[in-house]
Amino acid sequence: MNENISVSELSDEDIPQLVRFYVELSRDVEKETRDIYFVNGEIDESPLDQNLRKSLADSGTTTLMAKAGSKAVGFISGSVIPCFYPFSPIKHVGYISGAYVIPEFRRRGIMRTLEENLIKVFMDNGIGCVELFMLSANKSARKTWETLGYSTFRESMRKIIRP
């Protein structure tokens, strides 16, 4: 990774940039997948800003920002959640809820560094398994996560019952 990139926990001052990253992420996913969840035109940023401010106060959520100098270039966010299967010997897993690197900083190892830093947080909390969701049609996300060692272990299905 470029030595000019630093990774730190989200601060209150980072939230406006994080909101912009989530909007850009949504636009990227919309463009790549054309999924009905993401074809949403204008995005009202105020509820997102409020949710992110709440997550900053939640000790169970960790958001890390990557910066090139003072410029934010990416993020990853995750939390510890209960395992989906109640009978599993694994009671809690790390869950990656969002991740993004701006296009001009991709392919520089930034996502790998962000993910490694979040994995360390999970391991420090006794977590041995990390999960995430992505849309099946998001081929660039699939390639990124597979490169980082993730593999499909369960699948979700959807049936649209209203136009």
Q: Which residues are CB-contacts of 141 (< 8 A; sequence separation ≥ 6)? A: 29, 134, 135
* Structural domain contains residue 161: no
- How much is the pLDDT for 37? 83
DSSP the chain: --TTEEEEE--GGGHHHHHHHHHHHHHHHHHHH--TTT--SS--HHHHHHHHHHHHH-TTEEEEEEEETTEEEEEEEEEEEE-SSTTSS--EEEEEEEEEE-GGGTTSSHHHHHHHHHHHHHHHTT---EEE---TT-HHHHHHHHHTT--------------
Quote the domain boundaries for residue 23.
5-147
Closest CA to 148 of 121, 110, 122: 110
pLDDT tens column, 89-122? 999 999 999 999 999 999 999 999 999 999 999 9
* Structural domain contains residue 115: yes
pTM for the model: 0.91
> Do residues 111 and 7 touch, judged by C-beta distance below 8 A?
no
CATH number at 137 reads 3.40.630.30
* Structural domain contains residue 155: no
- How much is the pLDDT for 53? 85
- How much is the pLDDT for 6? 96
pLDDT tens column, 37-96? 876 677 888 888 888 888 778 778 999 999 999 999 999 999 999 999 999 999 999 999
Number of domains in the chain: 1
- How much is the pLDDT for 163? 72
Closest CA to 130 of 96, 90, 105: 96
How many percent of the chain have pLDDT more than 90? Answer: 74
- How much is the pLDDT for 56? 76
* Structural domain contains residue 152: no
- How much is the pLDDT for 78? 96
* Structural domain contains residue 54: yes
* Structural domain contains residue 158: no
